[in-house]
Amino acid sequence: MKFKILFYSLMLSGSMLSPAVMHAQQDKEPDDIAMTENEFEDNFFEALKQKGIENYDKAIQSLQKCLVKEPDNAVIYHELGINYLAMKNYPEAEKAFLKARDIDPTNRWYWQSLYDVYYETKDFNKSIPIVQKLTEWRKEFFQEDLVSLYMYTQQFDKALDLINEMEQTVGMSEKREMYKLQILSDSRYRKPQKESLEEAIKKNPKEESNYIELIYLYSESNQEQKAQEVAKKLEKEIPTSDWAQVSLFKFNLSNNEGKKAAESMFRVLESKKIDRKIKHRVLNEFLIFASNNPQYAGDLEKAVNYFEDDQQINVPKEIGKFFFSKARYPEAAYYFEKALSLKPDDIETVELLLYTYTESAQYDNLQKKAAEYIDLYPTQARLYYFAGFAANQVKQFAKAKDYLETGIDFVVEDPELELKITKQLTETYSALGDIKKKDSMLQRQAKLEKSKSN
């Protein structure tokens, strides 16, 4: 019982009984007080128990009994709101949370719970004053939400002001960058914004964010020459600016100045200020450029190394796919091999690598690598096909027979692969002089081809 009382005391922020109840108890007998306390406590813990097993109706009934004893207890109203919210009874949840907040406006969680209601009901207008209040406790976290709410409610002036403020305090983010471009694409904001930014740069040439905004504005209005001039001015005034390099990278690529573009790219990739998604975008643009200008292949290889710790995207694999789609198999193979050094158990990359060896007639590599992976994945039918195909090409027909006969037994609902293995077995049996098995494979092949055409 002592544990229950202590726990309940904590739940009520240090006071188990309200002042009203304490005053009333002065006129009661000790036995009456104990009964009142036990009844209130039992109902409260019964509510917690029922909520825990998702019997929200019963939890609400117990909490309403608690309110009879303590009608101004904010904790009870908050618990009521939680149960109503779980039932998606949003009007009642809102009422309960509002009551809790009015009783104790200093408790952040009562405000947070109100926001949960408005967020789920997409009531963005009601959300705004709540989130403004929440910024008193977690400013940067809730400012991000506030920017989005201003955008949803088309309060673009307020959104732009807050974005500019956050750029000064916490730096840039891709989401806010997107919002800003959306706002500035409106002609109402462009001209005065450009003029004010140009004036701000004159007054304070060391303020990086003004240059960045102006670069975006000029780029959005297709004034690339002016955007480039601003980027160069930024680089001159703030040589350490990483964001200047993002713009200069694009300008240098457009001007076919690969060396300068590569220098800017490496500055961007090394930066701790620039979001990883922007780095991916820069790499993708340089990939396309380098694929058309092979003299920069070394810079591309070096750039890929910056993404070795990327937990979301296997960058070498994606670059390998790019070259594979262009039928540039040696380059594709190089990047697939690099991808497998980062994630050796990616069977899709294994198969892509083996395809590149097949298409570039690297039969020794194909057989060796396929055999290595058969040891790791002994039921993967496609690996046996690659190994058998390679063995046939180098006239090792006995090996081909072993690989292909084993592989065909592992084919499951893949008629195309079954047909490929059957064709290779036909070739193998023919080379080994086994006419009976060759004829059997020819019949199987004809049946598969007929089924495919149907």
CA angle 220, 283, 221 (to 5 degrees): 5
Band (pLDDT 50/70/90 cuts) for residue 220 is low
- Calculate what percentage of the chain has a pLDDT beyond 70: 89
Average pLDDT over every residue of 116-132: 92
Q: Read off φ and ψ for residue 29, nearest 5 degrees.
A: -75, 150
- For the cut 70, the answer to whether the pLDDT of residue 33 exceeds it is no
Band (pLDDT 50/70/90 cuts) for residue 191 is low
Band (pLDDT 50/70/90 cuts) for residue 37 is low
Residue-range domain boundaries for the chain: 1-104, 374-454
- For the cut 70, the answer to whether the pLDDT of residue 310 exceeds it is yes
- For the cut 80, the answer to whether the pLDDT of residue 250 exceeds it is yes
Q: Are 180 and 193 in contact (CB under 8 A)?
A: no
Cα–Cα distance, 100 to 114 (Å, whole number): 10
- For the cut 80, the answer to whether the pLDDT of residue 221 exceeds it is no
- pLDDT for the residue numbered 187: 62
- For the cut 90, the answer to whether the pLDDT of residue 441 exceeds it is yes
Q: What is the pLDDT of residues 140-187, one digit of tens each?
A: 888 888 999 999 998 888 988 888 888 778 777 778 878 887 887 776
- For the cut 50, the answer to whether the pLDDT of residue 299 exceeds it is yes
Least confident span in 112-116, 311-315, 336-340, 379-383: 311-315
pTM of the model as a whole: 0.55
Q: Are 37 and 70 in contact (CB under 8 A)?
A: no
Average pLDDT over every residue of 58-76: 91
Q: Are 46 and 79 in contact (CB under 8 A)?
A: no
Q: In this structure, what DSSP letter does residue 68 have? A: H
Q: In this structure, what DSSP letter does residue 394 have? A: T
- pLDDT for the residue numbered 190: 57
Which secondary-structure segment (H or E) carries 391? helix 381-393
Alpha-carbon distances, residue 231 vs 151, 171, 175, 200, 251 (angstroms): 28, 18, 22, 15, 9
Q: What is the pLDDT of residues 87-98, one digit of tens each?
A: 999 999 999 999
Cβ count near 347 (within 10 Å): 13
Q: What is the pLDDT of residues 368-425, one digit of tens each?
A: 999 999 999 999 999 999 999 999 999 999 999 999 999 999 998 899 999 999 999 9
Q: How many CA atoms lie within 13 A of 144 on its CB side?
A: 10
Q: Are 134 and 156 in contact (CB under 8 A)?
A: no
Supply the CATH classification number for the domain 1-104: 1.25.40.10
Q: What is the pLDDT of residues 338-361, one digit of tens each?
A: 999 989 989 999 999 999 999 999
**Residues 6 or more apart whose Cβ sits within 8 Å of residue 328:** 291
Cα–Cα distance, 386 to 407 (Å, whole number): 10
For residue 281, what are its two tokens?
């975008």
Q: Are 261 and 253 in contact (CB under 8 A)?
A: yes
Better-predicted residue by pLDDT, 365 or 139:
365
- pLDDT for the residue numbered 5: 31
- pLDDT for the residue numbered 192: 59
Cα–Cα distance, 134 to 74 (Å, whole number): 18
Average pLDDT, the chain: 84
- For the cut 90, the answer to whether the pLDDT of residue 43 exceeds it is no
Band (pLDDT 50/70/90 cuts) for residue 28 is very low
